[in-house]
């Protein structure tokens, strides 16, 4: 009994403090399988010929090595009909998440070039657009922009280090140019083009939640260790480059079904605008128009390529990943009130966790039926709970090996004891009367706590300290505190 309680308690902490978990990994070996090449007319009216995936591979504009994927533009031929280039779009779309792109190189600060790393919904502008990296011509600093339908704007919280250029995200906003959107310009160095490439590239991380969208940038030498280790925690990254928040915008409805896009176009509606071209201190002196320059100077586009080490998409582990369920021949009744659980994320077949087959050798013994708590509530648990035994001085912290839980690959955990093993792969639920996975009634909690050894009580304290830290550091933690914190304090006070 006590082992089961401790296991579920530590599992709760693991689920809460896990934060972001990997949903999709677009690494070089499989990158191109997750993207399609758009080869129709450029929607931005660029002086470009977007090629198919097969054309890109056969001409060397698309190539995948062991450590990176390269998306290039033609740098050999004079191109009267537009310069051949690439636009890749992810097969999968997203409705939230943390998108982390590790880039060894992006198209340089080249006259006529208009590269972008961005996301877009299928019904534009109703489903929104998020421009993560974008610039034109000889620019050396990044411009981050949102494009939406009416009703979305941003406020300047001052909690980011970029500069707000425009605040209304509506593509038809009064007083702004056509399709300008709400834009934040990077104020730091090494964020775009030649300056980005000069330090070996780096990482862009975009966090998208219902409360807002933040864009972080890290030069190659300053990439946080948690990103490198695959355990990203934005709460420890400091101020973002840009933070789009407030202004009455609901970021869960203004942005939907976003696909990830890498492209390099030329001239068009931004880089090719005559006033933009002429006012550029470098490009305006090279040719009368953007199209003339792009057509006749192929060698100048040798650096107009993306070199992508990886793109990884993470989701919050306690909202997007279904909770593991322990194999058990019997289960107690479900919790009476669903309002006690955190809201579930929309179902996603790609991110769902397959259930592990029941294993007779590892199945937990069935719990005998027991009456509902005296207060009229019911309770739920992820593992069968044997009858409460009287405390024994020989009881240990090690969970019974019969208790198992599936992970995302369908494997099973068999905890062997100790703090780390109890942290792995477990969850719990809440219901009236206290922590449901621990006990069906307060008197049982009291009896259990009286039987704990000094070491076990110290471990409980570590659990609660970890929860408190988590709750103070992230939006999910604050939601958890609001929804469940009073029950934990009731149980452990």
pLDDT at 133 over 80: yes
Per-residue tokens: 227: 């990103």
- pLDDT band at residue 389, thresholds of 50, 70 and 90? very low
Per-residue tokens: 313: 């998409």
pLDDT given for residue 14 in this prediction: 39
* 55 upstream amide cis, omega within 30 of 0: no
pLDDT at 378 over 50: no
320 touches 23 (CB < 8 A): yes
13 touches 433 (CB < 8 A): no
DSSP 307: E
- pLDDT band at residue 344, thresholds of 50, 70 and 90? very low
pLDDT given for residue 28 in this prediction: 98
pLDDT given for residue 248 in this prediction: 86
Mean pLDDT of the region 193-203: 98
Mean pLDDT of the region 51-56: 98
Q: How far is CA 419 from CA 275, 325, 413, 460, in A?
A: 64, 20, 14, 10
> What is d(CA 443, CA 490) in angstroms, rounded to the nearest whole number?
12
> What is d(CA 100, CA 217) in angstroms, rounded to the nearest whole number?
10
Mean pLDDT of the region 128-137: 98
In this prediction the pTM is 0.65
Local structure of 449: helix, strand or coil: helix
Per-residue tokens: 427: 């969850």
> What is d(CA 52, CA 36) in angstroms, rounded to the nearest whole number?
8
pLDDT at 4 over 50: no
- pLDDT band at residue 468, thresholds of 50, 70 and 90? low
The per-residue DSSP string of 32-52 comes to GGGEEE--S--TT--SEEEPP
Per-residue tokens: 29: 């070996």
pLDDT given for residue 444 in this prediction: 40
Print the SS3 string covering 166-207: ECECECCCCCCCCCCCEEEECCCCCCCHHHHHCCCCEEEEEE
Query: What mean pLDDT value characterizes the chain?
Result: 75
> What is d(CA 327, CA 330) in angstroms, rounded to the nearest whole number?
9
399 touches 414 (CB < 8 A): no
Mean pLDDT of the region 159-174: 96
The matching CATH number, chosen from 3.40.50.740, 2.102.10.10, 2.60.120.200, 2.50.20.10, for 38-316 is 2.60.120.200
Mean pLDDT of the region 45-64: 98
- Chain Cα centroid distance, residue 56: 29
Residues with Cβ within 8 Å of 248's Cβ and at least 6 positions away in sequence, in order, are: 151, 152, 153
Name the residue among 284, 338, 309, 236 with its Cα closest to residue 66: 309
* Strand 62-64 relative to strand 69-71, pairing: antiparallel
pLDDT at 12 over 90: no
- On the 0-12 / 13-18 / 19+ scale of CB atoms within 10 A, 393 is exposed
> What is d(CA 110, CA 137) in angstroms, rounded to the nearest whole number?
5
DSSP 12: H
Q: CA neighbours within 13 Å on the CB side: how many for 178?
A: 4
Per-residue tokens: 387: 């009858």
* Strand 48-50 relative to strand 83-85, pairing: parallel
> What is d(CA 212, CA 244) in angstroms, rounded to the nearest whole number?
6
pLDDT given for residue 92 in this prediction: 98
Name the residue among 215, 214, 252, 243 with its Cα closest to residue 155: 243
pLDDT given for residue 442 in this prediction: 42
Local structure of 2: helix, strand or coil: helix
Give the residue, 319 or 64, on which the prediction is more confident.
Answer: 64
pLDDT at 112 over 80: yes
Mean pLDDT of the region 289-304: 98
Instruction: Give me the phi and psi of 50, to 5 degrees please.
Output: -80, 125
403-457: per-residue pLDDT in tens? 333 344 443 333 334 433 333 443 333 333 333 343 334 444 444 445 556 666 6
According to DSSP, the residues that pair with 26 across neighbouring strands are: 311
Which of the listed ranges 100-109, 309-318, 433-442 does the model predict with the highest average pLDDT? 100-109
219-234: per-residue pLDDT in tens? 999 999 999 999 999 9
Q: How far is CA 86 from CA 48, 107, 162, in A?
A: 9, 12, 29
According to DSSP, the residues that pair with 307 across neighbouring strands are: 70, 105
Question: Residues with catalytic annotation?
Answer: 129, 134
Residue span(s) of the chain under CATH 2.60.120.200 come to 38-316
Local structure of 317: helix, strand or coil: helix
């Amino acid at each position: 009994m006590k082992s089961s309680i401790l296991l579920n308690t530590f599992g709760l902490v693991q689920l809460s403090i896990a934060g972001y978990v990997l949903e999709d990994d677009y690494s070089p070996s499989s990158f191109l399988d997750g993207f399609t090449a758009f080869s129709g007319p450029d929607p931005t009216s660029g002086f470009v010929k977007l090629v198919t995936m097969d054309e890109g591979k056969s001409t060397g504009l698309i190539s995948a090595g062991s450590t990176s994927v390269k998306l290039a533009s033609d740098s050999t031929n004079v191109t009267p009909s537009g310069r051949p280039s690439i636009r890749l779009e992810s097969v999968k779309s997203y409705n939230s998440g943390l998108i982390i792109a590790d880039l060894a190189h992006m198209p340089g600060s080249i006259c006529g070039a208009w590269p972008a790393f961005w996301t877009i919904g299928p019904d534009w502008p109703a489903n929104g657009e998020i421009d993560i990296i974008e610039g034109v011509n000889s620019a050396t600093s990044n411009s981050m922009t949102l494009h939406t339908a009416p009703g979305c704007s941003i406020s300047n919280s001052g909690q980011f280090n970029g500069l707000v250029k425009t605040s209304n995200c509506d593509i038809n906003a009064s007083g702004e140019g056509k399709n300008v959107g709400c834009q934040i310009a990077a104020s730091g160095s090494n964020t775009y083009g030649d300056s980005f490439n000069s330090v070996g590239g780096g990482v862009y991380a975009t966090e998208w939640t219902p409360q807002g969208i933040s864009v972080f940038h890290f030069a190659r030498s300053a990439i946080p260790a948690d990103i490198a280790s695959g355990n990203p925690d934005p709460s420890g990254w400091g101020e973002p480059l840009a933070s789009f928040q407030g202004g009455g915008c609901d970021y869960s409805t203004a942005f939907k079904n976003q696909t990830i896009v890498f492209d390099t176009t030329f001239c068009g509606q931004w880089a090719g605008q005559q006033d933009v071209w002429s006012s550029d201190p470098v490009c305006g002196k090279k040719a009368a128009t953007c199209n003339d320059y792009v057509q006749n100077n192929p060698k100048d586009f040798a650096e107009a390529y993306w070199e992508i080490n990886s793109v990884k998409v993470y989701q919050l582990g306690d909202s997007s990943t279904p909770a593991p369920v322990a194999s058990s021949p019997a289960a107690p009744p479900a919790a009476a009130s669903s309002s006690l659980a955190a809201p579930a994320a929309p179902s996603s077949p790609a991110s769902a966790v397959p259930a592990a087959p029941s294993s007779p050798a590892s199945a937990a013994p069935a719990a005998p039926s027991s009456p509902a708590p005296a207060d009229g509530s019911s309770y739920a648990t992820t593992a069968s709970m044997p009858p409460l035994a009287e405390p024994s001085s020989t009881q240990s912290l090690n969970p019974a090996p019969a208790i198992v839980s599936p992970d995302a690959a369908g494997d099973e955990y068999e905890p062997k004891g100790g703090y780390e093993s109890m942290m792995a792969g477990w969850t719990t639920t809440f219901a009236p009367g206290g922590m449901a996975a621990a006990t069906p009634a307060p008197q049982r909690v009291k009896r259990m706590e009286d039987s704990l050894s000094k070491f076990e009580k110290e471990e409980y304290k570590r659990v609660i300290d970890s929860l408190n830290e988590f709750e103070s550091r992230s939006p999910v933690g604050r939601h958890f505190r609001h929804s469940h914190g009073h029950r934990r304090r009731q149980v452990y006070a």
